[in-house]
Amino acid sequence: MRKKSGNQTLTLALSGMMAALVFVATYFFKLPVSITQGYIHLGDGFILLGASLLGWASVPAAAIGSALADLLGGYTLYILPTFVIKGLVAAVAVCALRARHPYWLTVALLVLDIRVLNGMAGGTAPGLLRVGVEILALLGIMVLQYLFPSLARFEASLADTLKNACMMALAHLPKTALMTAAVVGAVWITLINNTTIAVGLMVWPLIGFSLMAFGNSGILRKIFDNYVPKA
């Protein structure tokens, strides 16, 4: 793999901006729906907009922006399901736009929301579905440990970067598990009760994300050195 150029840095910055737009559209422009114990919002529109403008870079933006809206909005039960489902919405939208498939695929995923399933099942989603979503969320977190750092370090297409992130996550599984456990543990501590959530809302934006990235950087630097051509 080659070290990256400015184009990848621009893509990374635009992905971060789209995540912020998805968060704002989801968090501030919403209408509660008592039947499903959730809400409808404008965030999905920005997810589809991101898919058309950014391609695969919209997938992590959709997942992170939507999950952050649930976290700050008090819907902590739905953070992981939202992370997975909204990422899938963006992925299917990209596929539909590029392959010109019928848009019913995207619409189907837009309505496949855990809040709707909870409302239909008396407040609890089916056990197998919940386990499946949690497994997908865990795998997504594992891959994300490498995705954004790879975008910042190497020059490759987004599809190749995603493939390389998956391969590195599996090839260095013990270190991947360590980084993932740190992230999951920190989030779990944040969500223990209302007090920890309130503290987390102050700590995470100030130093939480940067401390997590700094802690992972030492591990990732050694891993990435294995993929940089020797001079």
Q: Which helix (H) or strand (E) holds 25?
A: helix 6-28
Which residues are within 8 A (CB) of 215 and not within 5 positions of it... i.e. 6 or more apart? 182
pLDDT at 95: 77
Cα 85 to its chain centre, rounded Å, is 10
For the beta carbon of residue 132, count every other beta carbon within 10 angstroms: 12
User: What pLDDT does 120 receive?
Assistant: 46
Task: Spell out a b/e string for 169-181, using b for 16 or more CB atoms within 10 Å of the CB, else e.
Answer: beebeebbeebbe
Distance, first Cα to last Cα, the chain = 13
Whole-angstrom Cα distance, residue 105 to residue 115?
Answer: 19
Is residue 38 within 8 A of residue 75, CB to CB? The reply is yes
Work out the mean pLDDT of the chain and round it to a whole number. 77
* Range with lowest mean pLDDT among 11-25, 82-96, 106-120, 162-176: 106-120
| 91 residue type, one letter | A
Highest mean pLDDT among 92-96, 98-102, 157-161, 172-176: 172-176
- According to the model, what pLDDT value does residue 172 have? 93
In one letter, which amino acid is 10?
L
Q: What pLDDT, on the 0 to 100 scale, is given for residue 183?
A: 84
- The burial of 210, by beta-carbon neighbours within 10 Å (0-12 exposed, 13-18 middle, 19 or more buried), is given as exposed
Q: In a 10 Å sphere around its CB, with 0-12 CB exposed, 13-18 middle and 19+ buried, how is residue 34 labelled? A: exposed
Confidence of residue 112 (pLDDT cuts 50, 70, 90): low
Query: Would the pLDDT of 15 be above 80?
Result: yes
Residue 175 has pLDDT above 90, yes or no: yes
Q: How many CB atoms lie within 10 A of CB 74?
A: 9
So what's the pLDDT on residue 109?
55
How far is residue 70's CA from residue 80's CA, in Å, rounded to a whole number?
A: 9
Model pLDDT, residue 193: 80
